[in-house]
Chains A and B, each alone.
Chain A
Amino acid sequence: MTTVRAPGIWKRSANLRVGFLYLLPSIILFAVFLFYPMIRTIYLSFFLTDQNGNAAVNVGFENYSYLLTSPAFLNSMKATGLFVLYTVPIGIILSLFFALLANEKLKGIGFFRTMYSSTMGISVAASSVIWLFLFHPSVGVFNRILLVLDFPQIQWLLDPEWALISIAISTIWMNTGFSFLILLGGLQNIDEHLYESSRIDGAGYFYRLRRITIPMLSPTLFFIITISLINAFQTFGQIDILTKGGPSQSTNLIVYSIYREAFINYQFGTASAQAVILFVIILVVTILQFKLVERKVHYQ
Chain B
Amino acid sequence: MKLMLLFLTVLSLAVLAACTNSDSSTKDEENKGEDTKGEATKTEDGKVSIEFWHAMSGTGQTSLDEIVANFNESQDKYEVKAEFQGTYEESLTKLRSVGGTKDAPAITQVFEIGTKYMIDSGYIEPIQKFIDKNNFNADELEQNILNYYKVDDELYSMPFNSSTPVMIYNKDAFKEAGLDPEKAPETFAEVINSAEKLTKGEMYGFSMLTYGWFFEQLLATQGGDYVNENNGRTGDATEAAFNSDEGRLVFRTLDTMNKAKTFGNFGTNWDDIRAAFASEKVAMYLDSSAGVAGAIDTAPFEVGVAYIPHADEVKRNGVVIGGASLWMSKGIAEEEQEAAWEFMKYLTTPEVQAKWHLDTGYFAINPKAYDEENVKEKWAEFPQYKVTVDQLQDTVPGYATQGALISVFPESRQQIVTALEDMYQGKDPAEALEQAAEGTNRAIEVANKTKK
Interface residues of chain A, those whose CB is within 8 Å of chain B, are: 13, 16, 20, 27-28, 31-32, 35-36, 39, 48-53, 56-57, 72, 136-139, 155, 157-158, 160, 244, 246-249, 260, 263-265, 267
Verify B414–A36 contact, CB threshold 8 A.
no
User: Closest residue to A32 on the B side, CB-wise?
Assistant: B15
Residues in chain B near residue A247, CB distance under 8 A: 210, 267-268, 421, 424-425
On whether A31 and B93 interact (CB within 8 A), knowing A51-B120, A136-B272, A160-B421, the answer reads no
Which residue in A35, A39, A51, A160 is a CB contact (below 8 Å) of B425?
A160
Closest chain A CB from B159 CB (angstroms) = 23
The answer, among B11, B16, B268, B447, for a CB contact under 8 Å with A51, is B447
Cα A35 to Cα B424 in complex, Å, equals 45
CA distance A20 to B407 in the complex (A): 49
B452 within 8 A of A: yes
Q: CB < 8 Å: which of A28, A139, A157, A267 contacts B446?
A: A267
Does B5 have its Cβ within 8 Å of any Cβ on chain A? Answer: no
Most buried by B among A56, A136, A137, A249: A137
Q: How far is the CA of A249 from the CA of B427 in the complex (A)?
A: 14
Q: B266, B268, B450 — which one has the most chain A CB atoms within 10 A of its CB?
A: B450
Known: A39-B16, A139-B279. Contact between A57 and B449, CB under 8 A? yes
Whether A36 pairs with B16 at a CB distance below 8 angstroms is yes
CA distance A139 to B443 in the complex (A): 38
Q: Are B421 and A48 in contact (CB under 8 A)?
A: no
**B15 and A31 form a contact (CB under 8 A):** yes
Question: In the complex, what residues of A have CB within 8 A of residue B12's CB?
Answer: 31, 35-36, 39
Q: Bound state CA distance, A144 and B407, in angstroms?
A: 44
Instruction: Give the distance in Å from the alpha carbon of A56 to the alpha carbon of B3 in the complex.
Output: 36
Total number of B residues with any Cβ neighbor in A under 8 Å: 44
From A16, A20, A265, contact of B408 by CB (8 A)? A265
Is the Cβ of B272 less than 8 Å from the Cβ of A137?
yes
Main secondary structure of the interface of B (DSSP, over half): helix
Q: Is B450 touching A49 in the complex (CB atoms < 8 A)?
A: yes
Q: How far does the alpha carbon of A246 sit from the alpha carbon of B121 in the complex, in Å?
A: 30
Q: Is the CB of A139 within 8 A of B275?
A: yes
Q: Would B425 and A248 count as touching, CB distance under 8 A?
A: yes
Shortest distance from the beta carbon of B345 to any chain A beta carbon, whole Å: 30
Contacts of A16 in B (CB 8 A): 3-4
In the assembled complex, which residues on chain B have CB atoms less than 8 Å from the CB atom of A52? 96, 121
Given contacts A27-B11, A36-B16, A137-B267, contact A51 B451 (CB under 8 A): yes
In-complex Cβ contact of B266 among A36, A72, A158 (8 A): A158
Q: Which of B255-312 contact A (CB under 8 A)?
A: 265-268, 272, 275-276, 279, 281
B117 lies within 8 A of A13 (CB): no
Complex alpha-carbon distance, A248 and B265, angstroms:
13
Decide if A138 touches B16 in the complex (CB within 8 Å). no
B275 touches A264 (CB 8 A): no
Known: A31-B15, A247-B421. Is A51-B121 also a contact (CB below 8 A)? yes
Cβ of B7 within 8 Å of any chain A Cβ, yes or no, is: yes
Closest to B267 in A: A158
Task: Let me know if B411 is at the binding interface, CB within 8 A.
Answer: yes
Could you show 10 A-B contacts with beta carbons less than 8 Å apart?
A13-B3, A28-B11, A31-B15, A48-B450, A50-B451, A138-B266, A138-B279, A155-B265, A248-B418, A260-B414
Please give, as numbers and ranges, the residues of chain B lying within 8 Å of A265 by CB-CB distance.
Answer: 408, 410-411, 414, 443
Q: Which residues in chain B, 423-452, are within 8 Å of chain A measured between CB atoms? A: 424-425, 439, 443, 446-447, 449-452
Given A48-B449, A137-B267: A264 and B411 within 8 A (CB)? yes
Q: Would A36 and B411 count as touching, CB distance under 8 A?
A: no
Given A136-B275, A138-B276, A248-B418, is A35 in contact with B15 using a C-beta cutoff of 8 Å? yes
Q: B96 contacts A53, CB within 8 Å? A: yes
Contacts of B408 in A (CB 8 A): 265
In whole angstroms, what is the CA distance A139 to B271 when docked? 12
In whole Å, how far is B114's beta carbon from the nearest beta carbon of chain A? Answer: 11
Note all chain A residues with C-beta closer than 8 A to B450: 48-51, 56-57
A235, chain B: closest CB distance, angstroms: 19
Residue B190, interface by CB 8 Å: no
Task: Kindly provide the distance from the CB of A157 to the nearest chain B CB, expressed in whole angstroms.
Answer: 7
Which of the listed residues A48, A158, A160 has the most CB atoms from chain B within 10 Å of its own CB?
A158
Counting from the closest, the 5 A-B pairs by CB-CB distance are A56-B450, A248-B421, A265-B411, A50-B450, A247-B421
B275, B411, B421, B451: the one within 8 Å of A246 (CB)? B421
* B332 close to A (CB within 8 Å): no
> How far apart are the CA atoms of A191 and B251 in the complex, in Å?
67
Q: Are B15 and A158 in contact (CB under 8 A)?
A: no
Residue of B nearest to A244 (CB): B268
Other 11 A-B pairs with CB < 8 A, given A28-B11, A50-B451: A16-B3, A31-B12, A35-B12, A49-B450, A50-B452, A57-B449, A72-B439, A246-B210, A246-B421, A247-B425, A264-B411
Q: Contact mask B165-198 → A, CB, 8 Å, 1/0?
A: 0000000000000000000000000000000000
Chain A residues with CB under 8 A of B140: none
B19 within 8 A of A: yes
> CA of A158 to CA of B264 in the docked complex: distance in angstroms?
11
Q: Determine how close the nearest CB of chain B comes to the CB of A13; give it in whole angstroms.
A: 6
Name which of A39, A249, A265 has the most chain B CB atoms within 10 A of its CB. A265
- The distance in angstroms between the C-alpha atoms of A263 and B90, with both chains bound, is 9
Shortest beta-carbon distance, B100 to chain A, in Å?
9
Contact B446 A263 (CB under 8 A): no
Contact B447–A249 (Cβ < 8 Å): no
Chain A hits for B335, CB < 8 A: none
Decide: A36 near B15, CB < 8 A? Known: A48-B446, A264-B411. yes
